[in-house]
């Protein structure tokens, strides 16, 4: 039965003021469906700009740099191919349903791109691709700001509908009161699905599907929502497959480069001059950073595609000590003190040993990247009642006790505006782009911690920098 028919029956048995209430409720429902559609469109534009335009612009910059050094015609052909694909993608984006701010940002990017192409992609007089990347990020930011606005509109609609549900019974006769309460209860239950789905999509979760079994307006809206989310999920999968494929293909030549450089540094083929050794050392360090980035991409892909965990009983204090011991040499090179501060001598819980050590080491490495020479990093481990966990944590387990592991440093800290976003994939803090990573370390930590039914969050460090808290349930959780 259609929603209009249901409300018509209720209105026929109710007093006249209910007619206005019904019209308002139907309008809110349709507006919520339209808001969901607009939000999905914004996320699709965001994903396409990131996956198709920015990635290719960065590739174009690499090819231009290599061409400027080698003047290899092959790189010139690659530059032209990438430029053609970028131009085609910009034309497709121009045909999308864009808001005013998105359209203006895209027009600025298209204008700069036209100037770039007119001067010649291989010409040194052309605009640097980094400037084009910033313009493309402006398009992304416009899409994200519009998506946040659409999410806010959806929440407002929910609140307005809730107010309607409160005032309807007060204005109806007894029979109408009963019928309207039943109708609103059903409506609210289904609207909540839209709100949950909208929030999930706004946070980049594209696996959510709404109940579309009804043949009414909400059923039609749910089916449209599911189709749009499915399209986004397919795009996300294409991006993930692309990253995994490229990462696998790059790993072999990178290993060969590293081995060759190490052999040269060991002077196996012959002695090196001081200048040659310096250049080879720089080349080796760059290759090692690239290898680490590829490893992060592969780790994230494995986690997202369902890695198997080996859960057994382990001492978290011992695992923290192992993690710190393996990084002591690196910390010593940077004159940074790293140590474990354990309140309890032993904390036994069910976890995957290697993945737990990986989380601790990722957090320590993140601190080492930002903590200045002479600073301190401490790993605190203690038992903690669930109710006494730091306010930043949102425990997923209802067990009364957790193991709380905190990695605190004396670095510059993390701004409040970035503390949630640092766990997003590929997020890079402004002004912190030279740490040698691709923005996956904390994202990997979150994936592993959530697989352990734990929670992770950023807080303030008593040492003056940042503190990353990890809460893992004790005596239960994952088995």
Region 16-24: mean pLDDT is 60
Q: Which helix (H) or strand (E) holds 356?
A: helix 353-370
pLDDT of residue 217: 74
Q: Which two tokens stand for residue 395?
A: 């425990």
- State the average pLDDT over residues 75-85: 80
Residue 368, C-beta contacts closer than 8 angstroms, at least 6 positions apart? 327, 330, 331, 334, 336, 338, 377
CA-CA distance, 351 to 247, in Å (whole number)?
A: 28
| Positions of E strands within 82-222 | none
Residue 416 and residue 413: Cα distance in Å, rounded?
9
Helix (H, G, I), strand (E, B) or coil at 460: strand
Residue among 235, 352, 251, 351 nearest 294 (CA): 251
Q: How confident is the model at residue 472 (pLDDT cuts 50, 70, 90)?
A: very high
Length of the chain: 479
- Give the C-alpha distances (Å, rounded to integers) separating 2 from 37, 162, 181, 216: 21, 21, 17, 4
Q: Residue 436's closest CA among 365, 355, 377, 372?
A: 365
The pLDDT tens digits of the residues spanning 151-169 come to 777 677 667 666 665 665 5
| Among 46-50, 151-155, 284-288, 382-386, the least confident range | 46-50
Give 54-70 pLDDT, tens digit per residue: 787 778 778 777 877 87
Query: Does the model's pTM come out above 0.75?
Result: no
User: Mind listing the domains of the chain with CATH numbers?
Assistant: 3-205 (1.20.120), 250-304 (no CATH), 311-473 (3.30.565.10)
> Which has the higher per-residue pLDDT, 302 or 209?
209
If one compares 382 and 106, the residue with the highest pLDDT of the two is 382
> Tell me, what's the pLDDT at 423?
83
Which of 434, 350, 21, 322 minimizes the C-alpha distance to 187?
21
78 vs 49, residue with greater confidence: 78
| Residue 392 pLDDT greater than 70, yes or no | yes
């Amino acid at each position: 039965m259609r929603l209009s028919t249901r409300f018509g029956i209720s209105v026929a048995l109710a007093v006249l003021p209910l007619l206005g209430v019904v019209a308002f409720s139907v309008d809110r429902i349709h507006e919520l469906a339209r808001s969901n559609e607009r939000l999905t469109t914004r996320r699709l534009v965001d994903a396409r700009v990131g996956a198709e335009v920015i990635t290719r612009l960065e590739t174009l910059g690499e090819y231009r740099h290599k061409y400027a050094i080698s003047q290899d015609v092959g790189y010139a052909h690659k530059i032209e191919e990438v430029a053609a694909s970028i131009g085609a993608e910009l034309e497709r984006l121009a045909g999308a349903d864009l808001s005013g701010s998105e359209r203006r940002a895209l027009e600025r990017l298209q204008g700069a791109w036209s100037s770039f192409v007119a001067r010649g992609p291989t010409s040194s007089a052309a605009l640097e691709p980094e400037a084009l990347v910033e313009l493309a990020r402006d398009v992304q930011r416009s899409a994200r700001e519009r998506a946040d606005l659409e999410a806010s509109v959806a929440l407002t609609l929910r609140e307005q509908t809730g107010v309607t549900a409160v005032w309807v019974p007060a204005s109806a006769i007894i029979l109408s009161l009963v019928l309207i309460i039943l109708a609103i209860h059903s409506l609210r239950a289904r609207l909540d699905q839209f709100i949950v789905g909208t929030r999930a999509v706004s946070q980049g979760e594209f696996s959510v599907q709404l109940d579309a079994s009804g043949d009414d307006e909400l059923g039609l809206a749910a089916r449209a929502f599911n189709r749009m989310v499915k399209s986004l999920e397919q795009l996300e999968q294409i991006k993930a497959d692309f990253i995994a494929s490229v990462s696998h293909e790059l790993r072999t030549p990178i290993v060969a480069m590293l081995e060759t450089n190490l052999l040269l540094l060991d002077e196996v083929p012959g002695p090196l001059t001081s200048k040659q050794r310096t250049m080879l050392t720089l080349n080796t360090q760059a290759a090692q950073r690239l290898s680490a980035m590829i490893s992060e991409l592969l780790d994230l892909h494995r986690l997202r595609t369902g890695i198997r965990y080996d859960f057994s009983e382990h001492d978290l204090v011992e695992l923290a000590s192992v993690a710190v011991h393996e990084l002591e040499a690196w910390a010593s090179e940077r004159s940074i003190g790293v140590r474990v501060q354990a309140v309890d001598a032993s904390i036994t819980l069910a976890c995957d040993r290697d993945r737990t050590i990986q989380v601790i080491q990722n957090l320590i490495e993140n601190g080492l990247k930002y903590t200045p020479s002479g600073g301190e990093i401490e790993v605190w481990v203690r038992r903690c009642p669930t109710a006494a966990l730091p306010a930043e944590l949102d425990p997923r387990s209802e067990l009364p006790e957790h193991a709380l592991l905190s990695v605190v440093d004396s670095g510059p800290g993390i701004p409040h505006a970035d503390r949630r976003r640092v766990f997003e994939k590929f997020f890079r803090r402004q002004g912190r782009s030279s740490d040698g990573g691709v923005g996956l370390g904390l994202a990997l930590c979150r994936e592993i911690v959530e697989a352990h039914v734990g929670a992770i969050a950023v807080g303030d460090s008593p040492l003056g920098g940042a503190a990353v808290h990890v809460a893992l349930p004790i005596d239960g959780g994952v088995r």
